[in-house]
Structure 1
Amino acid sequence: MFNLKALQKNRTVKYGIPMLLLVIGGSFGLREFTQIRYDAQKIKRRLDPSLEVRVNAQKQSVILEEEYEKLKEINLDEWKNIRGPRPWEDSKEYQKQQRSRLSKTD
């Protein structure tokens, strides 16, 4: 009985042990909550299986030499830089204007 009353008056037992339990228990709890977050992100990133097969097939079938040959065939000396429309401009109308300017200069 005497030991129990002495422990209740001890500041380490009264404040220190609950604080340690809160800090250590909180770290384990936060780890579980953050793991749920990352697991949910993995689930969202998964692709449809048929689409995933197509994407993987495209990644594997690209050969560097073939892409280089395609780029060699393109004439890069005759390209024109066309500015995109501003947010306040009508994009279809602006594209028509740009195309008409290109056809006049050619």
Structure 2
Amino acid sequence: MLNLKALQKNKTVRYGVPMLLLVVGGSFGLREFTQIRYDAQKVKRKLDPSLEAKVNLQKQSVILEQEYEKMKDASLDEWRNIRGPRPWEDSREFQEQQRRKRTPES
């Protein structure tokens, strides 16, 4: 009984041990909660098998040399930079006005 009273008065046992249990136990608890989060993200990311096959087919069909040939044939001399409209401007009217201009803005 005397040892129990002495342990209750000891500050390390009274404050340190619960704090240590909270930190160590909290890390294990957080690991479980974050694992649930990542598992849920994996479930959301799964695609329908037929759709996944189409996506993979499209990814594999793009070849760098083919894209280069497309860009090589494009006429970049006639290209102009057309800025987008500001929020207070009518977008269609402004873009048509920009396309009609012959000289680039400075």
Alignment TM class, shorter chain as reference: 0.7 to 0.9
- Structure 1 gaps of 5+ residues are none
Higher relative contact order (CA 8 A, sep 6+): 2
Q: Aligned equivalents of 1:99 and 1:51: distance in 2?
A: 39
Q: Which residue number in structure 1 is paired with residue 98 of structure 2?
A: 98
Residue 55 (str. 1) matches residue 55 (str. 2): yes
Q: CA RMSD in A?
A: 2.2
Shift of 1:22: 0.9
Shift of 1:48: 4.2
Q: Secondary structure at the match of 2:77?
A: helix
> Higher helix share goes to which structure?
1
The size of the alignment, in residue pairs, is 102
Q: Aligned equivalents of 1:62 and 1:70: distance in 2?
A: 12
Worse overlay, 35-44 or 24-33: 35-44
1:50-89 aligned at under 5 Å gives the runs: 50-89=50-89
Q: Deviations over 1:16-64 (max 9, x none)?
A: 2111111111111222222233333333444444333222111111112
- Shift in alpha-carbon separation, 1:95–1:50, aligned structure 2, 3 A: farther
Q: Aligned equivalents of 1:21 and 1:74: distance in 2?
A: 67
Q: Aligned equivalents of 1:95 and 1:47: distance in 2?
A: 39
